[in-house]
Amino acid sequence: MSAVPAAPALLPASTTVVAMEGTTFHGPEAMTGIGRYVRNMARCLARIHADEGARLIVTLGRLAHAPLLAETVANDVQAHLFQPLIPGLPSDGAARQAGRRETPEALEDDLIARGATVYFDPNPFAMYKSFFAPRRLGHAAMIHDLVPLSFRSAYLDRWPAPLKAEYVRRLLHLAQTADVLFFPSHASAEEFHRHASPRAGMTLCVTGEGVDPVFLAPTASAADQAPANARPYMLMISNLTDRRKNLGFALTAYHHFLRLAASTRHAGMGLEIVMSSDALIDQAQAHCRALGIAGHVRFHVAVPDDSLRRLYRDAALLVCPSAAEGFGLPVIEALACGTPVLSSSRAGLAELQCDGWIMPADLSSEPALAASMLRAVDRPRGDPEAACRYAARFDWTEVGRRTYRTLSAATRS
């Protein structure tokens, strides 16, 4: 695939051609829920464009990642360089050799020349990439959450002044100039209204998110049917770098759980923790050793989808003690794999409800969460078909269609 494809054939004037920012494909968040959102949204939009006789345009921070993107979306995708503009970052050598211009104005010229009608940033607050605000194209963005503002003492107030100012600048710019803002939940939309005042005429759309098809697919092979772990275990999708995930709190709660469960059939139940990166993993392991639970806890870093599906499928329980989530994707993934969930009911998590499968977690104290864990693993599972039906409602094809329909209304005259 060439780095700068020829301009597409003439399309009907009514055709919406999306230019989607794709740096998250290969950035620090590639293995997170946001990374999964970007990959699946690109797949869906690429299919929709193909049906319309058009091609999705994806901007990338590094030319070398264009083949990876094309393989991921499995469609004829145009990939254009989006050179990072953050001061201090080296320029991409391939971009210099190709003589690519690096200004926002030149980028917008390139996108318009290739037929783009609207620019969509699915992760505008990723500070490892630049923020592009088009002047002539329609402008849309997905706001997954505003946790740094809602929990500013744990996030924004700890950031360096330039980073803090850039975060606020991006938020205000989106509120004042964007044509469309998407949200994964009503809680995220309400959070946005608490921190910003959207301009009159802006379209605000709650699209939800979808469950990755890999978690809905039937078990296909003997290897996939093999247990992920020989011992019974609970599962967490978490990390220490994001304080709202409450990993340290949950580890202490698990310490109390082992004591509570010592005289029950759940004695010695393990805890498996999946992390998107190994950042601060040494601290997490040290915390486990200090609590005397190191032999019961195992960490997994950057787990591939097939392995993650097995971990979900074989877990006795998914524990989600987060203080805030824009959506709560692991909850839906667990249900798709037939695993019950113990979850907080804060922010977007409160909107996920499946009788007999999602149980409330008491976060008032570590011992209270431990008691919630024991009640949850001791409770008989509900109807498996009910969990699968609920998870199947979060269909990526429909999320993509809703998004594309709304993007079509964002085209500027």
In tens, the pLDDT along 123-181 reads 999 988 889 999 999 999 999 999 999 999 999 999 999 999 999 999 999 999 999 99
Cα separation, 4 vs 26, whole angstroms: 19
Q: Is the pLDDT of residue 230 over 90?
A: no
In Å, what is the CA distance from 124 to each residue of 101, 144, 167, 259, 306?
A: 22, 9, 9, 44, 29
The reported pLDDT for the residue numbered 231 is: 86
How many CA within 13 A on the CB side of residue 238? Answer: 29
Domain that holds residue 309: 213-392
Same domain? For 298 and 172 the reply is no
Other C-beta atoms closer than 10 Å to the C-beta of 165 total 11
Q: How far apart are the first and last CA of the chain?
A: 32
Same domain? For 200 and 66 the reply is yes
- Taking residues 368-389, what's their average pLDDT? 93
Task: Judge whether 6 lies within some domain.
Answer: no
**Given pLDDT bands bounded at 50, 70 and 90, which one contains residue 71?**
confident
**Given pLDDT bands bounded at 50, 70 and 90, which one contains residue 291?**
very high
Q: Is the pLDDT of residue 88 over 60?
A: no
Same domain? For 260 and 366 the reply is yes
Same domain? For 43 and 185 the reply is yes
Same domain? For 94 and 184 the reply is yes
Q: Which two tokens stand for residue 31?
A: 């293995």
Q: Which two tokens stand for residue 364?
A: 């008032």
Same domain? For 188 and 235 the reply is no
